[in-house]
């Protein structure tokens, strides 16, 4: 479990995805995050630790409380990794369209 | 420029859905998948020329494709079998890249008429595992990206 620390490992777990969704709109304390789940508190803490190590979450000290908030820049990595693959298919399909338009004209 | 191709890849799943609308009648979109000479044309790119070594576009048929670089060196080869081949509607096939540890994938291609001159292709791809899916997404192994192409070349060179 401690082998890989990247965004892809972070989002592979349903609880961690739920935490990310929870933090999408606001910064929340660890206690408030835990209260949203039936899971034991240490388990939620472990998830928060992994998300922090993956740099998807940032911690901010506010008085006695630690608030967690999303690191939007890192979240973007998840969206970006699919782009070269999408580009490859888009190029291919553009070509298909051109080839078939020429084919139609030749007929 | 916005890409017309959409890809839906949900977290933790071993599948993905590629959709694209074409400015073509559905008959021509389907034809582009049934004539080897046409497939070769749209699968080729500046880095690699695609060739269908074998193509039996029918139920129980199979196919074998290969891409070569400008020097004629093989940079990509794949094969698969057709399970369904329904004109203007659906193609179900398997796809396996040779010399790549990515397993076999199941591809369901749905052809849909939108108007007389517009159509939509929905490709549902199912991989052996979500890890393999993510590996495929992260490193587009197919020719089309010069970077991936170079990487593949290195791998092929090592195999020689």
How far is residue B31's CA from residue B11's CA, in Å, rounded to a whole number?
34
Domain A7-81 is in which class? mainly alpha
Contact A12 B136 (CB under 8 A): no
Q: Which residues pair with A58 in a beta bridge?
A: A69
What ranges do the domains of chain A cover?
7-81
Print the domain residue range for B39.
Answer: 14-159
Region A11-22 average pLDDT: 83
DSSP string across B21-61: EESS-HHHHHHTTT-HHHHHHHH-BTTBEEEEEEE--STT-
User: What CATH number is given to the structural domain containing B58?
Assistant: 3.30.530.20
Q: Is residue B8 part of a domain?
A: no
Q: Which residues of chain B are within 8 Å of residue A101 when distances are taken between CB atoms?
A: 23-24
Q: Is residue B90 part of a domain?
A: yes
Contact A93 B20 (CB under 8 A): yes
Residue A60, H or E segment: strand A57-62
Higher-pLDDT residue of A43, A88: A43
Q: Which residues of chain B are within 8 Å of residue A94 when distances are taken between CB atoms?
A: 4
Q: What average pLDDT is seen over chain A?
A: 84
Structure tokens at A18: 């739920």
Give the residue from A89, A34, A35 showing the smallest Cα distance to B143. A89
Name, in order, each residue with C-beta under 8 angstroms of B151's C-beta and a sequence gap of 6 or more.
Answer: B139, B141
Residue pLDDT tens, chain B, 160 long: 578 889 898 878 999 999 999 999 999 999 999 999 999 999 888 778 999 999 999 999 999 999 998 888 888 899 999 999 999 999 999 999 998 888 999 999 999 999 999 999 999 999 999 989 988 887 554 433 334 334 433 444 444 4
- Has the ipTM of the complex gone over 0.90? no
Counted domains in chain B: 1
Contact A93 B22 (CB under 8 A): yes
């Amino acid at each position: 479990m401690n082998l890989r620390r990247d965004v892809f490992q972070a989002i592979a777990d349903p609880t961690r995805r739920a935490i990310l969704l929870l933090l999408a709109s606001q910064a929340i304390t660890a206690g408030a995050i835990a209260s949203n789940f039936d899971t034991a508190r240490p388990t939620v803490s472990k998830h928060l630790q992994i998300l922090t190590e993956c740099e998807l979450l940032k911690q901010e000290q506010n008085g006695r409380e630690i608030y967690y908030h999303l690191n939007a820049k890192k979240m973007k990595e998840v969206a970006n990794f699919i782009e070269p693959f999408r580009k490859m298919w888009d190029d291919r399909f553009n070509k298909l369209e051109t080839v078939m338009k020429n084919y139609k004209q030749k007929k | 420029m916005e890409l017309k191709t959409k890809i839906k890849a949900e977290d933790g799943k071993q599948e993905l859905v590629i959709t694209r609308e074409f400015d073509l009648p559905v008959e021509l979109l389907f034809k582009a998948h049934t004539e080897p000479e046409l497939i070769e044309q749209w699968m080729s790119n500046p880095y690699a020329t695609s060739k269908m070594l074998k193509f039996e576009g029918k139920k129980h048929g199979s196919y074998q494709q290969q891409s070569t670089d400008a020097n004629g060196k093989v940079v990509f080869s794949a094969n698969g079998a057709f399970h369904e081949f329904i004109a203007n509607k659906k193609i179900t096939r398997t796809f396996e890249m040779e010399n790549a540890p990515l397993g076999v994938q199941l591809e369901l291609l749905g052809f849909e008429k939108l108007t007389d001159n517009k159509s939509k292709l929905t490709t549902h791809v199912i991989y052996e595992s979500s890890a393999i899916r993510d590996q495929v997404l992260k490193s587009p192994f197919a020719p089309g990206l010069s970077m991936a192409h170079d990487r593949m070349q290195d791998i092929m060179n090592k195999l020689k």
